[in-house]
Structure 1
């Protein structure tokens, strides 16, 4: 394994550890509610507060730390995560547990943004999408693999075994970073004002909207997938687990495919994705009441969702290549905003029309996104002419 591949490998594990710390708590909410004697909705704030922290700090902390030596920043963030995770492991007070969740959320975007930037900088320009796609495998694994892992540990051992998993993963990444990641000076001494100028570009804001809508299209439906499988598909617990697993594995496959697509045909990939999602959602709407078709459709949908994760990052960073850390931070804020918006409207559709109609959130959001993608393409052409 050459040095560049080793760096990307460590970054992928690091991103897995960071994302697992964020998303893994989803699988622990019932146990935490019982252990700390709070309601399930109150325990849910451990997830919501983390997401809100990311959405707020996403564009800010990567910008503020963009001039600091990168390895030093990454080590600092990992130490903060380890200390916070240890506090969650030993505390007996829910309020302290909540604070220990909010603090790492503020620094979460820094590590993820740096991971994308460092991965891109470690390879040639034409291979940047492939390098970023490999790091995205860690994102997908953290989001869809970490949840069942910590849930398994909590169910078969106890809550503290699951919380210890967060500590162990981040400690492993810290050691790997100390011994195998070289010092990495900030890319260039760009002033904060220069970086913030990317926010004056219409292309940046249109790209942010594209990113928000892609994530709303995915998570507006995925958030309620278990509900859909229980009520519409009427799947047993066994088949629900299989479908969720297939979706997760396909997500990782989509990351790999996206890297190749964005390296060779980026604009075609961006245009084709919402159309493919619309067709997939129509198929789920028509056949979602049958278990076997849903098994195969979950593979298709999961693959498209994995591609979408890479595309949402690409549309923002390619619009602001002169401020990579800031643009990656904006991306993280945009996707968390999209997830929140999508989940909100998904809930409205379910409350007013029924579980089956949550699919309409994905379809309508993709249709709207096609319009913004067309606007984005026109803006790109205007910049090229200038």
Structure 2
């Protein structure tokens, strides 16, 4: 089951940034500017942030297997609309339709994952499923762009539609039938408004903003500051992606052993590496080292923060997980925007310092999260009640 969920997360994850590499083709074909075509990325992000929690709360009482299949079919339909879109407006519509399933499906995948393993393996299981997203960044998007270059920008969306349908069939075969827990909407809302949950969500957003501030402009940093050629930059980005995949899996295992220490340690280490970027970027050898370290730490947020959120969400975690998924996207958008402002002002080399400040802010928030520094930070405490509660309603 975990393998099927990982594959499905890979398919959904590929969609978010796929169009970013196809913007010139989309603009030429649909008769719009590249800047206008780029709003298809924004439309998807807005659909995730706004529509994700709404879809999640509306479907919280539906059987889990049927919901997973339905969300993937909605995702497939959105990408089919993109592949066939006769106009820019229809392309936007397809992107929004696909985005509505994004947060809700990732939320469901995380919850199904935690309910299928023993409490002491929750962090590892979340990291395994989340690795589908890392692989999407590492391979899915570049391969999609290659397909688009050879067969036109519509082809990757057609392929993604086919993959979504195949993933739907796979889930239909392997997911066990499971009724939704008898949770009430007001319980879900009350969970989201708890102080520890809000702090975890805010921490997630700050950490992702720190990562995005540097990563969004990593390529120009490596070419303009470090002096690498475009081919070398492509290789370094693959190194970053491979490190990101490995780092997430390692963080998941560490979270199972000591969640609080892993959260604090990874955020502190990430902040330190980001602070070194301006110095390390001046030499090629040190730039390679810092890119690898950055990759190893950048993806540790997913398993650690999702595990921490589940610890505090108790028996009504669905909406909280969905909002936390949205927090990832909000953080990415915020970091990219902040980085853009600095780059426009000539501060490309100093992005790491700004990102480190954001990271330290996230570290400060973790100290305010109830129970993080006490014995209750052990993951088993939080997830055991969640899984026991889930079992009562299956």
> What residue in structure 2 maps to residue 267 of structure 1?
260
Residue pairs, 1:331-370, within 5 angstroms: 331-370=324-363
Task: Quote the residue 1:124 is aligned against.
Answer: 118
- Once the two structures are superposed, what CA deviation does each residue of 1:12-53 show, in whole Å capped at 9, x if it has no partner? 000111111112112212221122121111111111110111
Secondary structure of the corresponding residue to residue 145 of structure 1: helix
State the match for 1:283 in structure 2.
276
User: Which residue matches 2:48?
Assistant: 54
Which residue matches 1:111? 105
Q: d(CA) in 2 for partners of 1:36 and 1:375?
A: 50
1:71 paired residue number: 65
In 2: Cα distance, 1:119 partner to 1:125 partner: 11
Matches within 5 A, 1:16-35: 16-35=10-29
**1:95 aligns to 2:89 (yes or no):** yes
| Runs of 4+, deviation exceeding 6 Å | none
- Structure 1 residues not aligned, in runs of 5+: 1-6
Match of 2:165 in 1: 171
Aligned to 1:4: none
Q: Give the alignment partner of residue 162 of structure 1, picking from 147, 156, 162.
A: 156
Relative to structure 2, which stretch is displaced further, 293-302 or 207-216? Answer: 293-302
Q: Say if 1:252 and 1:303, in contact at 8 Å, map to a contact too.
A: yes
Aligned mates of 1:361, 1:228 — CA distance in 2: 15
1:311 to partner: Cα distance: 2.3
- Residue 41 of structure 1 pairs with residue 35 of structure 2: yes
SS of match in other structure, 2:178: coil
Identify the residue that residue 82 of structure 1 maps to in structure 2.
Answer: 76
Deviation per CA, 1:324-382: give whole Å up to 9, x if none.
22121011111111112111211122222421111122111012122111111567759
1:222 aligns with 2:180: no
Paired position in structure 2 for 1:241? 234
Q: Secondary structure at the match of 2:60?
A: coil
CA distance in structure 2 between the aligned counterparts of 1:279 and 1:379, rounded to whole angstroms: 21
Matched, 1:328 2:327: no
SS in 1 for 2:300: helix
Q: Is the 8 A contact 2:53 2:104 kept in 1?
A: no
Length, aligned pairs only: 377
Quote the offset at 1:207 in angstroms: 1.3
Give the alignment partner of residue 181 of structure 1, picking from 169, 175, 179.
175
Q: Aligned Cα RMSD in Å?
A: 1.8
Q: CA deviation at 1:215?
A: 0.7
Q: Which moved more, 1:46-55 or 1:320-329?
A: 320-329
- Assess if the C-alpha contact under 8 Å between 1:51 and 1:336 holds in 2: yes
Please point out which of 193, 197, 203 is paired with 2:196.
Answer: 203
SS in 2 for 1:211: helix
| Runs of at least 5 residues in structure 2 that lack an aligned partner in the other structure | 378-394
How far does residue 321 in structure 1 lie from its aligned partner after superposition?
2.8
Residue 374 of structure 1, aligned match among 343, 367, 380: 367
* SS of the residue 2:248 aligns to: helix
What secondary structure, in the 3-state scheme, does the structure 2 residue paired with 1:68 have?
A: coil
For each residue in 1:132-152, what CA deviation from the matched residue of structure 2 results, as whole angstroms up to 9, or x when unmatched? 111010111123322111111
